[in-house]
Amino acid sequence: MTTQRGFTLIEVLAALVIVALGMLAAIQAVNQTARNGTYLREKTLAHWIGMNVVTERRLQASPPDVAESTGQVDFAGTKWQWTMKVTQTEVESMRRMDVSVRLASADEKSSLARVSGFYGAAIGAAGGQNLSWVGNGAPGTGDQAGGQSDDVEEPPGPVRDDSGRPKTPRDRPPSEDEE
């Protein structure tokens, strides 16, 4: 009589359990990757929306009111909710804008992206002259309460030609040290 060699029922069942566990792990990894991709897409879109809100406010002729405002936008086929909080900074002509963006269907306390920006009304003249920042004792304002004193010398600016443009070394005649 010849003995037949092959797998027993127990060996086949054990192999099936091992393959099933391996497939379950692979399916979970693919599922997690898909969820991460969706999350990163939503986070990127929320960041773009926040940057758009800040940019729109910066392009307005007048500074935004110091308050909290909200709005909804339809972007990439999804409804989004943004909240902007505007606060006054120590520099009188500058305001800070903090924008929080979430899906419109998400909890009010949740946020996918937070973006900050500033609105400043001070504009410097051409040629790079120093701006006069008026503040309430902030460092560098010249206010005795907390800034530097008025008797600090400013560093010299660049050498300029008759039209007010900075001179480059090749535009200037050589000095005694350079000859």
Chunked into runs of 10 residues, the chain (179 residues) has average pLDDT values of 82 95 95 93 95 93 92 94 94 92 91 93 63 54 45 52 59 54
- Single-letter amino acid code for the residue at 170: R
Evaluated on CA atoms 136, 139, 143, 144, the torsion sign reads positive
For residues 160 and 167, the answer to whether their CB atoms sit within 8 Å is yes
Q: Shortest CA distance to 82 belongs to which of 63, 64, 98? A: 98
Q: Which domains does the chain have, with CATH numbers?
A: 9-120 (3.30.1300.30)
- Report the pLDDT value the prediction gives residue 32, as an integer from 0 to 100: 94
Spatial separation of the C-alpha atoms in residues 98 and 109, rounded to whole Å: 15
Q: Shortest CA distance to 108 belongs to which of 74, 146, 68, 61? A: 68
- Report the pLDDT value the prediction gives residue 2, as an integer from 0 to 100: 75
- Single-letter amino acid code for the residue at 163: S
Q: What is the pTM of this model?
A: 0.59
